[in-house]
Chain A
Amino acid sequence: MRVACPECDTALRLKDDLPPGKQVRCPKCQKLFAVPEADTTAVSSKPAARRSAVADDDMDSDDSRRPVRRFKKKKQQSTSALPAILIGGFAVLLLVGAAIGGGIYLLSRDTKSTNVASSSTEPNRPTPRPEMSAPTPTPTPPRPNPEAMQPNGPGNIPPPFVPPTPPNGPGNGSPFVPPTSPTGINPNVPPQTERPKPEPKSDFPEGVGLEVGKMAPEIAGEDIDGKEFKLSDYRGKVVLLDFWGNW
């Protein structure tokens, strides 16, 4: 006989000698379900399956040939199958609803964060707005992520979104824009990282520095007798410069 799996609706061919009520496993979705009565085969949808289960009960009660023991067994299974299907359907609805809800929530958060981001950057840096428009699209690529996470349910949605904000917050944004929301700090990362770089260079002209391999900064001062002289007076000679004190 042909049966539709109550879980995935796959049409299945069962051996005809299988007793009604015997548990079989769907090869596609691995769902365990009871073999229905021969009359109620070819179930095509879940509501239909539910109806057929009820019909089974009626048939069973009418069927006098079947042993009582089996009838009882069948009734237990059919009644237990009904809530199982209901719970399954409800769970599916719950998952889909939660996923959609989560998706909407994330999307709204996303747009909110980008809005805050663009508005917070505008007062800080009015001129390089074309540059700043580049970082704002970057938060949008994460949008596919929440959608990809939907099947996992709502439990996974908050954690992936919360962590990205704190690393940016205290590290880069805290001294600069404390009042804005942590999500709005993201686009401020480029100006923050850019700023410290030129500062060390500004100490000395190009090629001059305190590291080995750099030109020694010029010293123009006076000696212990008050005579003026410069470090560059000794260019062409190897200079051992000794920072010392007689203490």
Chain B
Amino acid sequence: MYPHERSLVKKMHNKPFVLLGVNSDKDRDALKPVLEKEKITWRSFWNGGSTNGPISQLYKVSGWPTLLLIDAKGVIRYKWLGAPSGDVIDKAVEKLVKEASALAKE
């Protein structure tokens, strides 16, 4: 998961794309070394130290990982429960990034 996310973030560096996490780990301090070790540079919401935190409750997430791909207008366009293959994510991201670029030019 992390390697693909790293490469995706790198590939989309100058594109209208951002990877955001919602982290449900218990201990923020224990997580910080992991972020460094795994080179997790992207930002994550803190879910209150629990899988049952406010954000996962708001989004009714009950399985991990769950991924949502939201377009430039804020509309949910894809939803994956469990990690899909990197190709699947890449294709969907590229499609929506194209849409976002076209939208920006208008």
* In contact, A216 and B56 (Cβ under 8 angstroms): no
* Nearest A-chain residue to B38, judged by Cβ: A246
* In contact, B18 and A239 (Cβ under 8 angstroms): yes
Min CB gap A95→B, angstroms? 62
* In contact, A232 and B76 (Cβ under 8 angstroms): no
Picked from B65, B89, B104, the residue with its CB within 8 Å of the CB of A244 is B65
| Interface size range on A against B | 20 to 34
* In contact, A224 and B64 (Cβ under 8 angstroms): no
Q: How many residues of B contact A (CB 8 A)?
A: 55
Known A-B contacts A219-B55, A223-B45, A245-B24; the reply to A239 vs B61 at CB < 8 A is: no
**Contact bitstring B1-36, A, C-beta under 8 A = 1, else 0:** 100010010000001111111111100100110110
* In contact, B70 and A216 (Cβ under 8 angstroms): yes
* In contact, A242 and B58 (Cβ under 8 angstroms): no
* Nearest B-chain residue to A241, judged by Cβ: B68
Measured between beta carbons, the chain B residues less than 8 angstroms from A211 are 76
Check if A13 is an interface residue, CB within 8 A of chain B.
Answer: no
* Nearest A-chain residue to B9, judged by Cβ: A240
* In contact, B46 and A247 (Cβ under 8 angstroms): no
Min CB gap B45→A, angstroms? 4
* Nearest B-chain residue to A239, judged by Cβ: B70
Chain A 195-242 interface residues, beta-carbon cutoff 8 Å to B: 209-217, 219, 221-224, 226, 229, 231-232, 234-242
* In contact, A239 and B20 (Cβ under 8 angstroms): yes
* In contact, B46 and A242 (Cβ under 8 angstroms): no
Check if B91 is an interface residue, CB within 8 A of chain A.
Answer: no
Measured between beta carbons, the chain A residues less than 8 angstroms from B72 are 235-238
* In contact, B58 and A212 (Cβ under 8 angstroms): no
* Nearest B-chain residue to A230, judged by Cβ: B45
Known A-B contacts A213-B75, A234-B18; the reply to A240 vs B93 at CB < 8 A is: yes
* In contact, B67 and A241 (Cβ under 8 angstroms): yes
* Nearest A-chain residue to B62, judged by Cβ: A243
* In contact, A240 and B19 (Cβ under 8 angstroms): yes
* In contact, B20 and A236 (Cβ under 8 angstroms): no
In Å, the complex CA distance between A246 and B49 comes to 12
* In contact, A244 and B21 (Cβ under 8 angstroms): yes
* In contact, B16 and A238 (Cβ under 8 angstroms): yes
Measured between beta carbons, the chain A residues less than 8 angstroms from B60 are 210
In Å, the complex CA distance between A222 and B38 comes to 21
Known A-B contacts A214-B76, A215-B76, A224-B44; the reply to A240 vs B59 at CB < 8 A is: no
Chain A 68-115 interface residues, beta-carbon cutoff 8 Å to B: none
Known A-B contacts A216-B70, A236-B100; the reply to A243 vs B64 at CB < 8 A is: yes
Supply 9 further A-B pairs (C-beta < 8 A) apart from A236-B104, A241-B20: A215-B74, A224-B46, A229-B45, A237-B18, A237-B72, A239-B17, A239-B19, A243-B67, A246-B25
The interface of chain B, by Cβ under 8 A from chain A, is 1, 5, 8, 15-25, 28, 31-32, 34-35, 38, 43-47, 51, 54-56, 58-61, 64-79, 89, 93, 96-97, 100, 104
